[in-house]
C-alpha cells in the first residue's frame, strides 16, 4: 500500500526564527510587564538600572586607572632610587680605588727610602728586613707559582641577578663560598707555598676571608668570581703536594659533587704585590744599640675591631 504523498515544505520555513527575532525583538514577558504597568497607571521604566550600571562601570574604571597609575609611579620611583644607589656606590668605589692607589704610591715611596737607609747599614740587617717583608706580605715577590681557579657552577651563573637567592636554595650548592677559599689557601700553605694572593689581594697573618651575604671578602674587599688563588713556591713540589693533599681532594669534591669549575695550572713566573696599609704594631731596637726614650703608645680607638684570622669559618657548605 502506497503512503499518501507528504505536503511540500515551505521555502521560508527555516527563516521563521530569524523573522520572529526581527519582528519581535522584545521578549513577550517584558512586553506583558510593560502592558500591565500601563494598565495600572504606572509610569514607564526609565532604565534606572542601566544608568546605575554605567555609573558603576565609570567608577570602577577610574579606580583601576588610578591604581595602575600609582603602581607605575612606584615602579618608576624604585628604578630611580636604584639608579641613584648604583651611582653612589660607583662614586664611593672610585674614591676608594683612588685613595688605595695613593696609599700604594706612598708605600712604594716609603719602601724606597727604607732601602736607601738600609744601604748604609750592615748587610745582615738589610737581609733580615727583606726576609721579614716577605713573611709579612708587605713586599712584592716574584717567582714560579701555582694558580688554582674556582668558579660557580654554570647553572648558578645562568640564574644571574634575576634569581631570588631566598627561593633558589638548591642552586646555592654550586656557589663558591668563603670556606672553599679558606681550605684551598690553607692547603697551599701546607703544600709549601711561600706567598698567596686571591684576586689581587695578598694574604698575610692578619688577612680575613669572609662571606658577607652574596659576596666573598678578602682583606675587607669584595671579590667577584672566578676566584684565582695564586701561590708562589717550589715548582717541583708545590703542585704535587697540593694535588695529593687535602686541598686536591677537596677541589675534586667541589667539581664532582657540586659542579663548581676548578682549574689548576702552573706558571713559570708570577708576581704578587705587597699588601698596602700594613701597620707596625710592635718594634724594638736591635740588641746592642742605644735605646731611644720611651714614648707612650696612643690608646686604641673604641671602634677598632681586631682582625679575624684567615681560618675563621663562614659560609659552611652543608
Mean pLDDT of the chain: 76
pLDDT score for 309: 38
Rounded to an integer, the average pLDDT of 217-244 is: 91
pLDDT at 16 exceeding the cut of 50: yes
pLDDT score for 242: 93
pLDDT at 166 exceeding the cut of 50: no
pLDDT at 182 exceeding the cut of 50: yes
* Distance separating alpha carbons of residues 221 and 217, to the nearest angstrom: 5
In 3-state terms, what secondary structure has residue 263? Answer: strand
6: left (phi over 0), alpha (psi -120 to 50) or beta: beta
Q: Cell triple for residue 159? A: 640564574
Name the more confident of 239 and 310.
239
pLDDT score for 310: 40
pLDDT at 164 exceeding the cut of 80: no
Query: Which domains, and CATH codes, for the chain?
Result: 140-157+173-273+308-318 (3.30.70.1880)
pLDDT score for 11: 58
Name the more confident of 252 and 11.
252
Confidence tier at 294 by pLDDT (50, 70, 90): low
The segment with the largest mean pLDDT, out of 17-31, 57-71, 150-164, 249-263, is 249-263
Confidence tier at 198 by pLDDT (50, 70, 90): very high
pLDDT score for 167: 46
Overall pTM surpassing 0.85 (yes/no): no
Beta bridge partners of 43: none
In 3-state terms, what secondary structure has residue 13? Answer: helix
Amino acid at each position: 500500500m502506497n503512503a499518501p504523498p507528504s505536503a511540500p515544505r515551505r521555502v521560508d520555513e527555516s527563516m521563521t526564527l530569524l523573522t520572529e527575532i526581527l519582528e519581535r525583538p522584545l521578549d513577550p514577558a517584558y512586553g506583558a510587564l510593560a502592558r500591565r504597568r500601563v494598565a495600572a497607571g504606572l509610569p514607564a521604566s526609565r532604565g534606572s538600572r542601566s544608568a546605575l550600571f554605567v555609573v558603576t562601570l565609570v567608577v570602577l574604571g577610574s579606580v583601576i586607572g588610578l591604581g595602575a597609575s600609582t603602581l607605575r609611579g612606584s615602579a618608576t620611583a624604585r628604578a630611580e632610587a636604584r639608579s641613584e644607589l648604583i651611582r653612589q656606590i660607583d662614586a664611593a668605589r672610585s674614591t676608594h680605588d683612588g685613595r688605595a692607589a695613593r696609599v700604594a704610591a706612598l708605600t712604594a715611596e716609603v719602601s724606597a727610602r727604607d732601602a736607601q737607609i738600609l744601604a748604609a747599614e750592615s748587610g745582615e740587617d738589610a737581609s733580615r728586613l727583606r726576609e721579614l717583608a716577605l713573611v709579612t706580605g708587605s713586599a712584592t715577590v716574584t717567582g714560579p707559582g701555582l694558580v688554582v681557579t674556582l668558579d660557580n657552577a654554570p647553572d648558578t651563573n645562568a640564574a644571574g641577578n634575576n634569581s631570588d637567592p631566598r627561593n633558589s636554595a638548591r642552586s646555592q650548592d654550586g656557589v663558591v663560598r668563603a670556606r672553599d677559599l679558606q681550605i684551598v689557601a690553607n692547603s697551599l700553605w701546607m703544600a709549601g707555598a711561600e706567598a698567596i694572593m686571591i684576586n689581587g689581594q695578598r694574604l698575610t697573618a692578619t688577612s680575613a676571608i669572609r662571606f658577607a651575604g652574596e659576596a666573598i671578602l678578602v682583606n675587607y674587599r669584595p671579590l667577584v668570581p672566578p676566584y684565582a688563588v695564586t701561590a708562589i713556591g717550589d715548582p717541583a713540589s708545590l703542585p704535587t703536594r697540593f694535588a695529593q693533599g687535602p686541598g686536591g681532594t677537596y677541589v675534586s669534591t667541589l667539581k664532582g659533587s657540586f659542579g663548581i669549575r676548578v682549574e689548576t695550572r702552573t706558571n713559570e713566573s708570577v708576581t704578587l704585590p705587597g699588601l698596602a696599609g700594613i701597620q707596625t704594631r710592635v718594634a724594638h731596637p736591635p740588641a746592642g744599640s742605644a735605646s731611644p726614650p720611651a714614648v707612650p703608645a696612643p690608646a686604641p680607638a673604641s671602634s677598632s675591631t681586631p682582625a679575624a684570622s684567615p681560618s675563621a669559618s663562614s659560609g659552611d657548605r652543608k
